[in-house]
A and B are shown apart, each in its own frame.
Chain A
Amino acid sequence: MNALSKDEFFYGHKACAGCGGSLAVRIALKALGERSIAVLPAGCMSAVGFNFPQLCFGNNAIISTFAGTASMLTGIRAGLKAKGIEDVQTVGFAGDGGTADIGLQALSGAIDRNDDILYICYDNEAYMNTGIQKSSLTPFGAKTTTTPAGKNIHGNMRPKKNMFEIAAAHGIPYAATASVGYINDFISKVKKASGIKGTKYIHVIAPCPTGWGISTDETVEIAKEAVDCGTWYLAEFENGEFRLNFRPKEFSDIGEYLKKQSRFRHLTDEDIKIIENSRNAKWEFIDNNFKK
């Protein structure tokens, strides 16, 4: 078990019960400590954490524009350097839409410049703050309020964008995937990233009970199951190499994982077969390209 600070840096906020995103932010800040400056774009965590006069961050924190998480981190880092202020973690927490859609340009720029920042994408697989709309990280088949499931179209018809490998393709010093279902692995990666100079990217699966259609006490369990059934994986990219951190001995039942969530309940056996095939293809790629 990783030793974590008893200090709380994100509390008293208005996140929904069982929120995976707030868990990721809370735990990451405990791992990073009080000399952290957090940037959060418009989105779930800023909406629940910064309601004047109820401000919920115990460390320095600021909301950026929706697209501007990485570019504001860049500016903060540059400002700190100009001021000669050292030993500070600058960390961004952006959702899937804020990262893979509207914020991708700024994130790419920051990685390209190798700015000394840690960017954490808490991925709940849709625009949850505005009421569950599809993002480019919404998985195939998921029902959202903009990808309804009906007779003609069964939810989202596009696969999830591969942000981890997109970040890696920049030649980033460190990138990792994680899940709030494997919290010790997440904590280790945050701590490891905090010791690396340059840009770090961590992509953590953080279920949203409201958007996924699960009970509020199932967040951690379902985040674990995503890894166990193989639709998500725990890996790192470092020194130009991919490394797999964990391989389930045997995948748990993907159909069971999907059917637990109301966003997938409409899927036909055929749809589930497509998801299973795509998982298998991904793992073939992992087995061939990732170190163990």
Chain B
Amino acid sequence: MARKFLSGNEAFAEGIRLARPEVISAYPITPQTIVVERLSEMVEDGSLNSEFIHVESEHSALSCAMGASAVGARAFTATSSQGLLYMAECLVYASGGRFPIVMMNANRSTALPWNIYGDQRDSLALLDSGWIQAYAENAQEALDLALMSYYIAENKNVSTPFMANLDGFVLTHTYEAVDVPEQDAADKFLPPFETENKLDLSKPKNMAFSAGPASNYIFKYKEHLGLLNAAAVINEAEEKFYKIFGRKYPGLIEKYLTDDAEYILITLGSISGLVKDVTDELREKGGKVGMIRIRYMRPFPNKEIAETVKNAKAAAVLEKDISFGNEGTVFTNVNSALKKSGVNIPVSDHIGGLGGQDISRADIENIFKNMKKGLSDVNFIGIGGDRP
């Protein structure tokens, strides 16, 4: 195992190299571009044996990946923000077609106003597109997710595309020391892609067909089951990963000091690092605080979240997202999880980091402070409540 100093993007590209994708469709967009640049270098220097396709748009990037997957080839692409939205049609097409493509998304704000910095409105706007959605906290996790993503997506009970999200700039462009596994070990972890969901010259098939009202709902139900099945396969992947690489991952959510916590902040992505720091500081002062980091938004960790916060006095959600006219999407999902499990505690929503807005230690301390007041409001960091 080599230890390298890598950015989030570079770490993810290393993980993809180890996963041996057979087809890569590449289109640039800030802050994702470095991923496809690194992959093109790997193809050039022979460390990666892939068909590297310079497509003409993000729509084509995913359409091309679907074509490759439809003949049984492992496919990868990457995008961000406007690019993700531009390929939205292909997202639902890929999930409906059960093509286990992996895509990295560098989380970035969506226009207008134009902004290249990180928030999670791009991927969360496509939460309902039928993709597995994972959110990495750091570069090491990004690399490991890249490798695990194919294991999960390609499982025949899952057969669902996988979107790995890295916060734009904050994670994609910051450097950390990262353990890069050897190819032998990666091969031991990830078997070659085998599927029956492909065109077959010895037994021709018609794929991606129409299904009318009499059968359409059955296909959609099966798609739903595929995503639900991913939860168990994520655990299986992480166990196998631990055995081979010695790094442990905690499933759909990461719990941080939640066992006896009275106040729990629920968040996702790279901001979790700072939340952990603030949690530590408040703990030192005697505060009974903890954090949940949502690692997977789909399949959604309903039970895991409810189980973790059920004995807390209050909880809050911190998210880089807003569903205009309502509240943050993560908040909606968390509230639904609590309601279904009969957990009735005050939960507030805190919208921050939009378009790269800085979220400070003080902001996080304030959220913990406000939790104690038992507010159930939607709050914008830097502005306040959402009702003037």
A residues apposed to B, CB below 8 Å: 34-35, 37, 39, 46-47, 49-53, 55-65, 67-68, 70-83, 85, 88, 105-106, 108-109, 112-113
Contacts and interface: CB of A to CB of B under 8 A. Distances in A.
A197 to B, nearest CB: 16
A52 B60 contact: no
A106 B63 contact: yes
B383 interface: no
Given A72-B63, A85-B201, A105-B57, A78 B23 contact: yes
B67 A55 contact: no
A81 B64 CA distance: 14
Interface string B45-73: 00000110111110111011111111111
Contact of A109 (B51, B60, B67, B200): B60
Given A82-B23, A85-B201, A109-B60, A76 B51 contact: no
B70 A62 contact: yes
B67 A71 contact: yes
Size category, B interface = 35 or more
* Residue of A70, A76, A81 with most partner-chain B CB within 10 A: A76
Given A75-B23, A75-B65, A79-B69, A62 B56 contact: no
* Residue of B51, B61, B67 with most partner-chain A CB within 10 A: B67
A79 B68 contact: yes
Contact of B60 (A46, A63, A71, A83): A71
Nearest first, the 7 A-B pairs at minimum CB distance are: A75-B67, A109-B56, A79-B73, A68-B63, A71-B60, A82-B22, A79-B68
Nearest to B56: A109
11 contacts: A37-B71, A51-B209, A52-B211, A62-B67, A71-B56, A72-B70, A79-B51, A82-B23, A83-B71, A85-B201, A112-B56
B2 interface: no
A71 B209 contact: no
A108 B54 CA distance: 12
A63 B73 contact: no
A78 B51 contact: yes
B326 interface: no
Given A59-B204, A68-B60, A83 B90 contact: no
Interface string B210-223: 11100100000000
Interface string B352-382: 0000000000000000000000000000000
B207 A71 contact: no
Contact of A55 (B75, B90, B209, B212): B209
A74 B64 contact: yes
Contact of B64 (A58, A63, A72): A72
Contact of A78 (B53, B93, B206, B210): B53
Nearest to A51: B210
